[in-house]
Amino acid sequence: MYDLLLRGGTVIDGSGAAARRADVALREGRVAAVGEIPAAEAEQALEVGGLVVAPGFIDAHSHADAALLRDPAETPKVLQGVTTEIVNNCGFGLFPVRGEAAGEAMGGVWTEGESPTFASAEAYHAALRARGTALNVVSLVAHGAVRASVVGVENRPATEDETRAMCGLVREAFRQGAVGVSFGLLYAPGCFAARDELAAIGRVAAECGRLLAFHVRNECDRFEESILEVIELGRETGAHVHVSHIKVADPARWGDIGLALGHIEEARARGQRVTCDQYPYTAGSSPFTTLLPPWALEGGPARTLARLRDEGERSRIRAALAGEEIIPGWDNLSSRIGWPRCVVGSAPGREEWEGRSIADLAARAGRPPEEVLFDLLLATRGAAIGIWHQMCEEDVQTAMRHPAQMVGSDGLHTLGKPHPRLWGTFPRVLGRYARELGVLTLEQAVHRMTGKTAAAFGLAERGLLAPGYRADVCVFDPGRVVDRATWERPTLPPEGIAHVICNGVFTVRDGRQTEARPGP
């Protein structure tokens, strides 16, 4: 006897295969059968005619590691049909954090308020299990946390002993279930790492069958060089490399993303494993400290704020922002996109600034934009989050069509006006890009949210609707599914997600979230 039978739906199984009419039976937290199944064989039957039955979506790029500890309901993702999140991206994470410098660098990053940190993957996941979560949680090991724990937030190469120690922490995290390493080569302390350090960690990942996920060093004028850097690291180490939120963030280079994708194609043709993820928007989001030159971030957040209080240091930062100091590899984002495209998303204590650009705030205050940036960072103790209108629609669609692409929200759980990708990513791909624009077929879109992601990150028994797989399911209306979150109202939930099942348990039923916590 089956526990639940989903009858009469259109099954898109996550493999990329064509949709077909079939029933799906679940038993004891797993998919038990897919085909024509009599209702009498199930304790409960749910009619889903006219709806698509797909695997639960997998968020390839999540920053929910701290948010899940505060609010295990994870409503923004669950209402989108997400049943699994891959956390600790861009080199930031709550483990392994050992020592004061590492705790300061990783605690409270990209989230409201301070967050607890953990010495190990095991300790972090134990904390999640103690509370329960509404979805499955899979972790990368954050290179930034590893480096800060061993080297500190210092702008220097690691010694041989320090590199060995970092490799040891990475191995430990792998033994405790981490599925790869994330690097934030744009951010401190990842931007301070030398190639030898990255390659050493890459060899450990290759040996253990784990991937390397990179926020590349430069997404503006040197985006090609940055893509080639990580491809070469993959070739040298033998590791699968994954480019996080692939983009071209320089208006002067809009339309050129095909050059980066071409390098990925060449690597794949040589037999390398190279993949990427993407969110379906033309704006990104990250801390306002991202706009500062790398040297201003050395030593951690407290030292950065001290520099902003020192007039001599402020003057030097102003000069860097104006392009008077050449810093190899630094993308100097504000100079590329302009202050009108730099918008305040979250500003604790300065909520009246949220939703307004730095250019607008500067004009109203009669102050230079750089000074407004400094004021914002000091007023929020470095916690302000920006939204960067930095990409073009043509590039978004070009990347979305590429066979290496999969879907990740990159959503930041902040107060104020967060980027709408936190609430809208997956329905937006299904509604706007598949149904309305035809950039992907529905089968391709589901594949890039489920089976492809599971295969890339080594998630066994997830990502497909097939007998024996975990019963993670999303049931949606293909004619109605769409995102509703906007820049003005970024926390509006999507439409068209009817039911979500995680590990055989309803987390959304008839469009409403339940109280169930079947994860992590």
pLDDT tens, residue by residue, 221-256? 999 999 999 999 999 999 999 999 999 999 999 999
257 within 8 A of 294, measured Cβ to Cβ? no
Q: From CA 43, how far away is CA 56, in angstroms rounded? A: 22
b (16+ CB within 10 A) / e for 79-91: bbbbbbbbbbbbb
Q: What is the mean pLDDT of residues 132-161?
A: 97
Q: Which long-range contacts (CB under 8 A, 24 or more apart) does 104-108 make?
A: 104/153, 104/300, 104/301, 104/302, 105/144, 105/145, 105/148, 105/153, 105/188, 105/189, 105/300, 105/301, 106/142, 106/144, 106/145, 106/148, 108/66, 108/383
Determine the 3-state secondary structure of 131 from DSSP.
helix
The pLDDT value recorded for residue 100 is 83
Q: From CA 113, how far away is CA 480, in angstroms rounded? A: 37
The pLDDT value recorded for residue 108 is 63
Q: Is the pLDDT of residue 112 over 60?
A: no
Alpha helices in 75-120 (DSSP H): 75-78, 100-106
Distances (CA, A) of 400 to 15, 85, 209, 336, 483: 17, 20, 27, 24, 17
Question: Can you tell me which residue has the tokens 């068209």?
Answer: 496
Segment (H or E) for 47:
strand 45-47
Which string of DSSP letters, residue by residue, matches 310-355? SHHHHHHHHHHHTT-S--TT---HHHHH-GGGEEEEE-TT-GGGTT
Q: What is the mean pLDDT of residues 128-145?
A: 97
Q: Is the pLDDT of residue 202 over 80?
A: yes
pLDDT band at 111 (very low <50, low <70, confident <90, very high): low
For residue 232, what are the contacts with CB-CB under 8 A and spacing of at least 6? none
Q: Is the pLDDT of residue 24 over 80?
A: yes
Q: From CA 273, how far away is CA 275, in angstroms rounded? A: 7
Among 50, 69, 135, CA closest to 470? 135
For residue 36, what are the contacts with CB-CB under 8 A and spacing of at least 6? 22, 23
pLDDT above 90 coverage of the chain, percent:
93
pLDDT band at 101 (very low <50, low <70, confident <90, very high): confident
pTM score, two decimals? 0.96
The pLDDT value recorded for residue 110 is 57
- pLDDT tens digits, residue range 348-386? 999 999 999 999 999 999 999 999 999 999 999 999 999
- How many CA atoms lie less than 13 Å away from 260 in the CB half-sphere? 35
- pLDDT tens digits, residue range 319-356? 999 988 778 878 899 999 999 999 999 999 999 999 99
Q: From CA 263, how far away is CA 243, in angstroms rounded? A: 12
Which of 3.40.140.10, 3.40.920.10, 3.20.20.140, 3.40.50.10320 is the CATH number of 57-284+390-457?
A: 3.20.20.140
Q: How many CB atoms lie within 10 A of CB 388?
A: 24
- Per residue, the 3-state secondary structure of 5-45, as one string, reads EEEEEEECCCCCCCCEEEEEEEECCEEEEEECCCHHHECCE
Q: From CA 227, how far away is CA 264, in angstroms rounded? A: 8
For residue 409, what are the contacts with CB-CB under 8 A and spacing of at least 6? 59, 61, 62, 77, 279, 421, 422, 425, 426
Q: Pseudo-torsion of CA 491, 335, 280, 414, nearest 10°? A: -30
What kind of fold does domain 4-53+467-484+491-513 have according to CATH? Urease, subunit C; domain 1 (2.30.40)
- pLDDT tens digits, residue range 276-335? 999 999 999 999 999 999 999 999 899 999 999 999 999 999 999 998 877 887 889 999
The full set of domain ranges for the chain reads: 4-53+467-484+491-513, 57-284+390-457, 287-388
For residue 39 the two structure tokens come to 């209702």
